[in-house]
Structure 1
Amino acid sequence: MDRVDSIPPPTGDDLAARADAYAAAPLLNCLLREVARPVADSGGLRTYRLPGVDRLLRVRGVRRPTGPEVYAAGHWHRIGHTELVKLVAEELRRHTGLSNHELPADMIDSREAVAALLAARARAREPEDPYLRSEQSLITGHPHHPAPKARGGGPAAGWLPYAPEAHARFPLVLLGVREDAVAEEGDTSALDALGQAPPGYRLLPAHPWQLDLAGRELTGAFADGRLVRLGTTAFDVWPTAAIRTLYAPGRDLFLKFSLDVRITNDIRRLWRHDLRALRRTDAEAAKAFAAPGGSAAWLSDRGYRTAGFAFEELAVLVRDGLRGHLLPGATPLLAAGLVEGFTGSPLAAAADPAAWWEAYLRAVVPPALAAFAGHGVVLEAHLQNTLVAVDADGLPVQALFRDAEGVKLLADVGREAGWERLVYTLVVNHLAEVAAALAGHRPGFDPWPAARRELGRHDLPEIAALLTAPTLPGKTNLLLRWAGADGADARYLPLPNPLARPVPGR
C-alpha cells in the first residue's frame, strides 16, 4: 500500500524519520507535478530530471512519494528533508529566475510542526466521536502543498495547545465589547448564549491563540474599557481541520476566527472585504441547497460579530451546526480525513469498494453540479470543505458543504473560470484523492469508470469535454508560493485526465 501514515507511533529517532517522510511527501508531490520531468518508472522507483539543476531524482511510491534520492558521482544518494528543501529551492531559483527566502523557511517549519504533532499525538487520546477523529486526522494535510503544516514559524508551545492534529480541545476566551464599538451583520444570536456580558457590553468569544497573537494591538482597548475580559466558556471546543474553525459539540455550533498566521497559501485572517461579501455568497449557496428533492446540505455562515476598532483581528463567524442538516442515523465525516485515514474509517473498511465508491459519487457529485448549473454557485468542493455522512454500514448517504468564503458566483467570475475552479476543487483535489485512497486499500480496483458514469448522467454542456479532454487543471501551489502570489490566486497546469478513457457500452 502506498502510504506513509501506517507507521507505528514514533519514538526517538523514529519520530525524526516519520516527520521527514510526512513533510517530504507533499513537497515531492508539488515538485514532481509542477517542475520535474519524468524519465523512467521501474521496479517501484520513479525517476525524474530536475531541469534547472540538471539532476536526476528518484522516489518510491506514487500517491505519497518517499525515500528521495539524487544521482551524483555515479551513485544514488538518499537525501533527508533538509537536503530536499535546499534542492527544491535551487531548482526553483533556476527554473523561475526568482529568489524566495520565506518559502524554504516555511518548508522547514512545516517539517518541525509535523515532528511536534507526532510527538503530541503519541501522548494524546483521540476523540471518541468519529466525526471529530476525522477532522483531527490530517498529519499530511494538503497532499500537493510544499509546506502544509507550517504554523508561522513560532515555537510549538505557542500553537500546539490549539492544534487539531494533536487532538486539542480547549475553552474559548470570552470578551465583552462596549456596545458602541460592536460591528456585526447577520444572525449572531448564538454568541450571546455563550456567557454573560455586563451591562453596556456585548459578548465576543475569542480564539486564545489569536488573542496571544494580537495582544499588543489590543492593550489600549483593554486599558480604556472598550474591551473587558470575562473569563472562559464553561465547555471545551474542538479545532477542526481548518485550525481556526472550532466546533462546540454540546452547542452544535461552529465558530470561525481570525488567525494572523500563514497556513498553506493564506494569512488566515477574516478579512473585512471577505466578511462584507459573505452574506451574498452564503445566501446564494443556501438557496442552491434549498431546492426540494436532494439530501445534500449547506452549512450556512449565518453572520459575524467583531469590534469596530479591531475589525479583522477579533472577528468571529457563526456557522450552522450539523444536527439540523444530517439525515437520521447518519454520521458525518470529513472527506480529507477519509483520504488521510483515521481509526474506524469506512473507506478503509469498505468490503465492496465499488458499491462504496458509487454511493460516494452519488452523494457528492450531483449537488455540486446542480449548484453550478442551476444556481450559478461554484462551491469550493475540496476535501476540507466537504463532509460525507455515512449510514450504520459505513455507506455514504449525504454530502454537506461549507465555507462561503471560498464560494464563487458565476455572475462575478464567468462560466469558464467558474467551471475550471469547480473541476479543480471537485475532481482534482477531491475525487481523485478519494479514488486513490480507495484504490490504495484495494489494489486492482479502478474507480474511474464509475466516476465517468456519474458525471455523464448530468446534462451540462461542459461534461462532454470533461470526459474527453486529455488534461485537467492542477493548481501550482509550489510555483504560486515561490512567486509570492496572492493567496487567493489560482494558476493551473495541465494534468493527465483519468476520466478521458472510453466507457464500455457508451
Structure 2
Amino acid sequence: MHRPPTAEAEVAAELAVVRPGLVPRYSAGLPGARAAVLTRLWRALSHEPLPWVAGRDPGPEGLTLRLGDGRRLHGPAPDPYATAAYVTAVRLDEVTYDDPARLMTDLAVAHGTAFATELDHSVASLALSRAGQEPLAAAWPVTDWEWEQRVVDGHPYHPNCRSRPGFSVAEQLAYGPEHGPLVRLGLLPVPAGECLVTGVWPSELRDGERMLVPVHPWQEEHVLKRSCERGVAAHPLMSLRTLALPDGPHVKTALSARLTSSVRDISVYSISLSATLSAFAETLAARLDGLLHFTRTEGAITADSPDLAAVLRESPQMYAVAERGERVVPVAALPTTDLPGSPGWLADFARLALTAGLRLLDLGVALEAHGQNLLVVLSASGAPLRLVYRDLADIRVSPARLARHGIPAPALTGRIVTDDVTTLRRKLFGSLVAGALAGTAGSQAVLREALGTAVRDLPRTPDLAALLEQPLPAKALTLMRLSPGTPGDQWTGLPNPLR
C-alpha cells in the first residue's frame, strides 16, 4: 500500500534547504526520537482506559495487550515513571514496529489516523530539537531563559512531546526555545475601548489611547494575518508562547496552534480572573511560612478574543537571593543537572514539594504543579530551599475548604471553582507526583525510594492517606487525543510507587 510522505521526510527536505548542516545529525537522531515517542506511547497503551484494549497480561517477557478485535500487542514490562527511551520496538501479532506513527496507523482505532499524524510530527520535531544541541556547559545558567532552553525533549510522558503541526522547519528553528533563538514579538496597537485589561498595563506598552498587545510572530502571520510595525526582542521559554522580555518580566502570548494536546490561545475567562487570582495567591503564600511563592501577574489584556491576548508576569528569578548564589530552576530542567542523582537530594526536594502542595490542598487550593509551572530555589550548593509557582490559570479552588480555615473565597467562577475531592486531588497528585516528581526521578524505583523517605514525617491528613493508598492519578493523555468529542481532562490510575 502506498503511504504518503512522512513528517520525518518532509522535515529532512526542508532542513536541507534552511539548515543543511544539521541534516546528518537530524537523520542520525531519528531512531532515538522514535524510541522516545514509542516509550511514551507504550506507557499510555499499558495503563490508560482505552476502550479497544480488552485486557492486559503481564508475563516474564513483558506485557501483552489483548485488543478487542482479537489481535495481540506485545512489549516490554512497562515502567509508568520512566523517562529514558527503553521501548525500541513492540510486536502486533507477528509484525514488529519501531515507528509509533506506523503502529498507531495499523492499530486502526477510532481517531487513530489523526493521532498517528501527530506522533509522526512529534518524532520529526524531537529529532530536529536534538539535532542542534551542543553538550551542556559545566557552569549552570545565570538567566531564567537559559534554564528553560535546556529542556529539549518536551513533556516527559506525552507521546506528542514535540508535536508542532503547522510549524515549518524554519519556524521551529526560529521560535523553539531549545534552538536558542531571539524572537521579535510584535506590538499590535488596539484602541483602549476595545480591550479588557486587568491589573496594571505598563506605560511602555501604551501609545496614547491605544494599548500595545504583544503578539507572537507565528500568530501574526498565520492567525491575525497582519504584521506589526513595532516589536521587542525576547527569549522563548519552554512553553514556546511565553517569553522573557529584556527587562525581566515574562509575557504569555496567544498562540493558536496545537502544541502537545492543546490550542494555546488565552481565554477571555482567564484574563478576567487573572488579577483576582494573583491577589488571592499572595494571601495564600503568607500562610506557607516561606515554603512557596507565587509569581505576581502584573497585567493582562485581551481584545475580546482568545487569539489576541497577553499576560505579563514577574520573573521567578525575583525569589532568588543573588548575593547568596541562589538559583531558580524549573523542575523540568532539573534532569539536566546532576542533582537528582545525589544521595538524598530527591527525597529532600520531594519532601519540600509535598509539604507545600498538601498544605495548600488542605487550605483549599490544588496546584497544577507540573515541571513547567513549578520551580525550585536552590542554594549555592544545590540544596532545595523553597518553591516558586507560576501560571494560576489552571488551579482549582475549594470554597468549602477555604471556609474551614476562615479564608474568604475570592470572587471566582467557572471551572476553577470546585469542592469535589477527587477533582482536587487529581489536580495536585497528577501534576506534582505523577508529573514533576516522577519526571525528575525518571523511574519507578527511584521515585519509590524518594517518596518513601519524604512522606515519613508529613502530617497524616486524609489527602496524604489517599496519596499513599490509592492508585496515582495521571491524565490519560493518549485517550484524550483519541476522544476529540469528549471535553475536559480524562484520567487513569497508575501503580502507586508507595504500595
TM-score by length of 1: 0.79
Matches for 1:166-315 after TM superposition, within 5 Å: 166-189=179-202, 192-193=203-204, 198-216=207-225, 229-233=228-232, 236-248=233-245, 250-291=246-287, 293-308=289-304, 311-315=305-309
- Provide the C-alpha distance between the structure 2 equivalents of 1:291 and 1:371, rounded to a whole number of angstroms: 9
- Provide the C-alpha distance between the structure 2 equivalents of 1:86 and 1:27, rounded to a whole number of angstroms: 13
Indicate if the aligned counterparts of 1:22 and 1:139 stay in contact, CA closer than 8 A.
no
- Provide the C-alpha distance between the structure 2 equivalents of 1:430 and 1:198, rounded to a whole number of angstroms: 41
- How far 1:425 moved relative to its partner? 1.6
Question: Structure 1 residues 67, 373: CA separation in 2 closer, same or farther (over 3 Å shift)?
Answer: same
Select 2:86's aligned residue among 54, 65, 70. Answer: 65
- Provide the C-alpha distance between the structure 1 equivalents of 2:156 and 2:317, rounded to a whole number of angstroms: 30
Select 2:132's aligned residue among 112, 117, 120. Answer: 120
- How far 1:257 moved relative to its partner? 0.7
Select 2:68's aligned residue among 41, 52, 60. Answer: 52
- Provide the C-alpha distance between the structure 1 equivalents of 2:133 and 2:389, rounded to a whole number of angstroms: 28
In structure 2, what is the equivalent of residue 381 of structure 1?
369
- How far 1:162 moved relative to its partner? 0.8
In structure 1, what is the equivalent of residue 456 of structure 2?
453
- How far 1:161 moved relative to its partner? 0.8
- How far 1:244 moved relative to its partner? 1.0
State whether structure 2 residue 483 is matched by structure 1 residue 483.
yes
- How far 1:459 moved relative to its partner? 4.9
Name the Cα RMSD after superposition.
Answer: 3.0
Question: Structure 1 residues 465, 314: CA separation in 2 closer, same or farther (over 3 Å shift)?
Answer: closer
- How far 1:163 moved relative to its partner? 0.6
In structure 2, what is the equivalent of residue 427 of structure 1?
433
Indicate if the aligned counterparts of 1:10 and 1:118 stay in contact, CA closer than 8 A.
no
How many pairs align?
A: 447
Give ranges in structure 2 of 5+ residues lacking alignment.
Answer: 1-22, 400-416
- Provide the C-alpha distance between the structure 1 equivalents of 2:356 and 2:370, rounded to a whole number of angstroms: 14
Indicate if the aligned counterparts of 1:124 and 1:167 stay in contact, CA closer than 8 A.
no
In structure 1, what is the equivalent of residue 339 of structure 2?
346
The secondary structure found in structure 1 opposite 2:64 is strand
- Provide the C-alpha distance between the structure 1 equivalents of 2:474 and 2:126, rounded to a whole number of angstroms: 25
Question: Structure 1 residues 288, 475: CA separation in 2 closer, same or farther (over 3 Å shift)?
Answer: same
In structure 2, what is the equivalent of residue 3 of structure 1?
none
- How far 1:164 moved relative to its partner? 1.3
In structure 1, what is the equivalent of residue 396 of structure 2?
408
Regions of 4+ moved over 6 Å: 123-127
Question: Structure 1 residues 491, 415: CA separation in 2 closer, same or farther (over 3 Å shift)?
Answer: same
Question: Structure 1 residues 296, 30: CA separation in 2 closer, same or farther (over 3 Å shift)?
Answer: same
- Provide the C-alpha distance between the structure 2 equivalents of 1:181 and 1:346, rounded to a whole number of angstroms: 49
Question: Structure 1 residues 482, 239: CA separation in 2 closer, same or farther (over 3 Å shift)?
Answer: same
- How far 1:473 moved relative to its partner? 1.7
The secondary structure found in structure 1 opposite 2:388 is strand
More off after superposition, 390-399 vs 29-38: 29-38
Give ranges in structure 1 of 5+ residues lacking alignment.
Answer: 1-8, 223-228, 501-506
The letter of the residue matching 1:496 is P
The secondary structure found in structure 1 opposite 2:212 is strand
Indicate if the aligned counterparts of 1:382 and 1:425 stay in contact, CA closer than 8 A.
yes
Matches for 1:388-399 after TM superposition, within 5 Å: 388-399=376-387
In structure 2, what is the equivalent of residue 357 of structure 1?
346
More off after superposition, 279-288 vs 405-414: 279-288
The secondary structure found in structure 2 opposite 1:67 is coil
The letter of the residue matching 1:389 is V
- Provide the C-alpha distance between the structure 1 equivalents of 2:252 and 2:207, rounded to a whole number of angstroms: 24
The letter of the residue matching 1:237 is A
- How far 1:263 moved relative to its partner? 1.6
Matches for 1:85-124 after TM superposition, within 5 Å: 85-87=104-106, 89-90=107-108, 93=109, 98-121=110-133
Indicate if the aligned counterparts of 2:200 and 2:298 stay in contact, CA closer than 8 A.
yes
- How far 1:26 moved relative to its partner? 1.6
- 1:339-363 deviation per Cα after TM superposition (whole angstroms, max 9, x unaligned): xx32x44324x2xx22x12321233
The letter of the residue matching 1:447 is A
TM-score by length of 2: 0.80
In structure 1, what is the equivalent of residue 102 of structure 2?
83
The letter of the residue matching 2:118 is D
- 1:142-172 deviation per Cα after TM superposition (whole angstroms, max 9, x unaligned): 2332312111344222343111122222232
- How far 1:478 moved relative to its partner? 0.9
Select 1:372's aligned residue among 361, 368, 389. Answer: 361
- Provide the C-alpha distance between the structure 2 equivalents of 1:241 and 1:472, rounded to a whole number of angstroms: 26
- Provide the C-alpha distance between the structure 2 equivalents of 1:294 and 1:437, rounded to a whole number of angstroms: 30
- 1:394-441 deviation per Cα after TM superposition (whole angstroms, max 9, x unaligned): 12111111111111111321141212322222222222332335966x
- Provide the C-alpha distance between the structure 2 equivalents of 1:396 and 1:118, rounded to a whole number of angstroms: 29
Indicate if the aligned counterparts of 1:26 and 1:140 stay in contact, CA closer than 8 A.
no
- Provide the C-alpha distance between the structure 1 equivalents of 2:339 and 2:143, rounded to a whole number of angstroms: 10
- Provide the C-alpha distance between the structure 2 equivalents of 1:453 and 1:230, rounded to a whole number of angstroms: 58
Indicate if the aligned counterparts of 2:102 and 2:116 stay in contact, CA closer than 8 A.
no
- Provide the C-alpha distance between the structure 2 equivalents of 1:61 and 1:413, rounded to a whole number of angstroms: 34
Question: Structure 1 residues 326, 203: CA separation in 2 closer, same or farther (over 3 Å shift)?
Answer: same
- Provide the C-alpha distance between the structure 1 equivalents of 2:490 and 2:26, rounded to a whole number of angstroms: 41
In structure 1, what is the equivalent of residue 150 of structure 2?
137
The secondary structure found in structure 1 opposite 2:393 is helix
- How far 1:306 moved relative to its partner? 3.3
- How far 1:260 moved relative to its partner? 0.4
In structure 2, what is the equivalent of residue 6 of structure 1?
none
- Provide the C-alpha distance between the structure 1 equivalents of 2:104 and 2:486, rounded to a whole number of angstroms: 22
Question: Structure 1 residues 465, 125: CA separation in 2 closer, same or farther (over 3 Å shift)?
Answer: closer
The secondary structure found in structure 2 opposite 1:261 is strand
- How far 1:289 moved relative to its partner? 0.8
